[in-house]
Amino acid sequence: MAQIRLDKFISERTEYTRSRIKQLAASGDIKVGGKVIKKSDTKIDPENDSVEVCGEIIGKDKHRYILLNKPRDYVCSTNDNDGKNVLELVPPELRTKGLFPAGRLDKDSLGALLITDDGELAHRMLSPKSHIPKIYIVQLARPFEDKYVDIFKNELQLSNGETCMPANVKSVENSEYQAFIELYEGKYHQVKRMFAAVGNHVDVLMRLSLGSLVLPEKLAIGECMELLHKDVENLFAEREFNAFLSSFSGFFSANLINI
């Protein structure tokens, strides 16, 4: 692979500016292959050279993909004026320039949210042509009714006249107030509006999956993890609704009412 400048490599993968990288190099805080490099315009092999800045190894991938278990009261925005921002939850070692939430969860909703600096992937992911299924678990104010299954499969009409694409819904085993729902679109407050249309109310909403990318149980609310490229491709892999439910351990269901 063609060599590139050290400062370009670092600036594309971190929040450091070119001027700051030059300062760090001059002070001996940058190493390539374990050796201190004092000139930031030094050419390196981005595939094979190990780059270290202030003791932190810089990953080779140009783009970063982060899965956040979003807590309540944080907005999916890049604007600090909108209130507490999901980007605040990304630890310093995972931050790069241009990070943004790919897709949205309401301020009071929880669960799987992808944060990235890859605009092309986000466009592909959010395009209506992709039809990436998203599975949620909800805590309802009133008991789940079996009639919801057929109503949701038949293009439910919302209160404002909008029609929803067919959606899968199923009650959570041993919990009459909880349900799973799978959507292939993302209208404003859609899950809440769908249950409101059948006379129920969503008290808690948590997203469990995006495509075949599933929120790990070990990822606590408010925590995030970096994804590998093979994990990111799971966004576009098919996963059958009932197959997902059969592998669901019940961890999130048991904890949902206490969130």
**Which residue numbers are catalytic?**
106
d(CA 124, CA 57): 30
Coil, helix or strand at residue 26: helix
- Provide DSSP, 203-252: EEEEEEEETTEE--TTS-TT-EEEPPHHHHGGGGS---HHHHHHT--SHH
d(CA 8, CA 44): 10
Q: Which residue has the tokens 């992709």?
A: 130
- In the chain, the amino acid numbered 12 is E
What would the two tokens of residue 255 be?
């904890």
Question: 26: which residues sit within 8 A by CB, 6+ positions away?
Answer: 38
d(CA 10, CA 47): 13
